[in-house]
């Protein structure tokens, strides 16, 4: 946000830059001390460099899936076999499961319908081959790599 403000304002005075960096550092330090980024004992943030890697991987998967769906639609026999199946949501945090469900929906040919009480995701696919790829767990493994795993807070009551 600070960089965006800097680019949009065009004010590159030394005093403003120093005060801006100090205020951003103070807010980040306070937010960390106040545990603002925790939601019900779980982190609501992720590992920044890993999320960039995940976005690149997801973009590639979207391109591959888009090509596959286009081939199926343009073929004469329209080789589709719609399937509805539960897929285990293996990411560890609520944020990870939400990213997983949204990534499934972003990938052409698959749609995450809802979470089941067992923390599975009900997924609709244009062809069952897409579900086999999800069940292999490559997408879930990438998301688990993005998640931050914190030690439990000793002051918080355990479930």
pTM over 0.85, yes/no: no
Q: Tokens representing 62?
A: 């979207």
* Residue 33, C-beta contacts closer than 8 angstroms, at least 6 positions apart: none
CB-based contact 128:83 (threshold 8 Å): yes
| Closest listed residue to residue 139, CA positions, set 130, 148, 128 | 130
Tens digits of per-residue pLDDT, 131-144? 888 888 889 888 88
State the total domains in the chain: 2
Domain span at 16: 2-36
The answer on pLDDT for 30 being more than 90 is no
Clarify whether residues 32 and 59 are in a common domain: no
- Strand ranges (E), 31-135: 38-39, 42-43, 83-88, 110-115, 120-125
The share of the chain scoring above pLDDT 90, in percent, equals 17
CB 34 within 8 A of CB 28: no
Other residues' Cβ atoms within 10 Å of the Cβ of residue 39: 13
102/140 same-domain check: yes
Question: Is residue 32 in some structural domain?
Answer: yes
The reply to whether 73 falls in a domain is yes
Do residue 100 and residue 133 come from a single domain?
Answer: yes
Residues 15 and 78 in one domain: no
The residue count for the chain = 159
Summarize pLDDT for 63-111 with one digit per residue, the tens: 999 999 899 888 888 788 888 988 887 777 777 888 889 999 998 889 9
**Residue 152 domain flag:** no
Instruction: Find residue 39's DSSP bridge partners.
Output: 42
């Amino acid at each position: 946000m600070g960089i965006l403000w800097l680019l949009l304002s065009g004010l590159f005075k030394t005093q403003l830059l120093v005060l801006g960096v100090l205020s951003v550092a103070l807010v980040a330090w306070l937010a960390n001390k106040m545990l603002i980024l925790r939601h019900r004992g779980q982190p609501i943030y992720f590992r920044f460099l890993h999320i960039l890697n995940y976005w690149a991987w997801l973009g590639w998967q979207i391109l591959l899936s888009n090509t596959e769906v286009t081939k199926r639609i343009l073929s004469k026999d329209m080789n589709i076999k719609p399937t509805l199946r539960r897929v285990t949501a293996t990411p560890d945090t609520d944020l990870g499961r939400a990213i997983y469900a949204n990534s499934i929906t972003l990938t052409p040919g698959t749609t995450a319908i809802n979470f089941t009480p067992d923390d599975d995701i009900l997924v609709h696919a244009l062809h069952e081959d897409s579900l086999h790829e999800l069940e292999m767990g490559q997408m879930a493994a990438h998301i688990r790599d993005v998640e931050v795993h914190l030690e439990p807070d000793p002051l918080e009551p355990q479930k």
